[in-house]
């Protein structure tokens, strides 16, 4: 007799949990129509917003005079764990001190290798480089993922 009771109570219990599960699914189904969280990219490209901490790629800030703050110290190059940065520089005599100093030629950045770890940005003593929100980085030719971050004709800010 006990076995029969257990048998039917297990069926009833199973039916109850089935209804509970379906209730939760139904609640989310109805609510989803009011709270759509899927973003219709790329239709919403112009209205996309990002958190400040979002990291898409490294860039170098230039002001309106095409001047940057990179003094070619190579700290970012050393800090980068996978060689995504190469600093190419010249040595010129500083007219003020008469001593030779580094002058940036090209700040090479290999986006294709970059893990966006942010270590280079944190290491830079002059805040010359930052992380941008430019996330559309797909290219047909891999070589286009290697860029010079300093703009043509730019120079170090005094
Ligand atoms: S974000 Fe990280 S991996 Fe990318 S260049 Fe900077 S240090 Fe290297
Ligand atoms: S970006 Fe910053 S850390 Fe890198 S070479 Fe320039 S000044 Fe130095």
**pLDDT for the residue numbered 32:** 72
Mutate to test the pocket of ligand 1, among 75, 119, 132 (most ligand atoms within 8 A of CB): 119
Ligand 2 atom, smallest distance to 85 CA: 4
**Cα(118)–Cα(128) distance, rounded to whole angstroms?**
13
Average pLDDT, whole number, for the chain?
Answer: 93
Region 125-136: what's the mean pLDDT? 96
**Does ligand 2 lie within 6 Å of residue 126's CB atom?**
yes
Residue pLDDT, tens place only, 15-60 = 999 999 999 999 888 877 677 677 788 998 888 888 999 999 999 9
Q: Which CATH class is domain 51-156?
A: alpha beta
Cβ(110)–Cβ(146) below 8 Å: yes
pLDDT band at residue 101 under the 50/70/90 scheme: very high
pLDDT digits (tens, 9 = 90+) for 107-118: 999 999 999 999
Helix (H, G, I), strand (E, B) or coil at 29: helix
Q: What is the pLDDT of residue 110?
A: 98
Rg (CA), the chain: 28
From the CA of 121, how far away is ligand 1's center (Å)? 8
Neighbours of 39 (CB within 10 A): 10
pTM comes to 0.77
Nearest CA owner, ligand 2 atom 8: 73
Nearest CA to ligand 1 atom 4: 114
């Amino acid at each position: 007799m006990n076995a029969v009771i257990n048998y039917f109570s297990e069926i009833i219990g199973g039916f109850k949990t089935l209804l509970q599960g379906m209730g939760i699914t139904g609640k989310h189904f109805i609510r989803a129509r009011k709270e759509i969280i899927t973003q219709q990219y790329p239709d919403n490209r112009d209205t996309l917003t990002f958190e400040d901490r979002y990291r898409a790629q490294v860039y170098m800030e230039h002001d309106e005079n095409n001047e940057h703050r990179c003094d070619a110290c190579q700290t970012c190059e050393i800090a980068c764990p996978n060689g995504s940065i190469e600093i190419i520089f010249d040595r010129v005599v500083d007219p003020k001190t008469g001593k030779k100093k580094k002058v940036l030629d090209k700040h090479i950045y290999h986006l294709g290798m970059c893990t966006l770890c942010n270590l280079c940005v944190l290491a830079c003593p002059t805040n010359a480089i930052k992380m941008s929100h430019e996330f559309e980085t797909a290219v047909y030719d891999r070589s286009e993922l290697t860029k010079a971050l300093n703009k043509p004709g730019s120079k170090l800010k005094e």
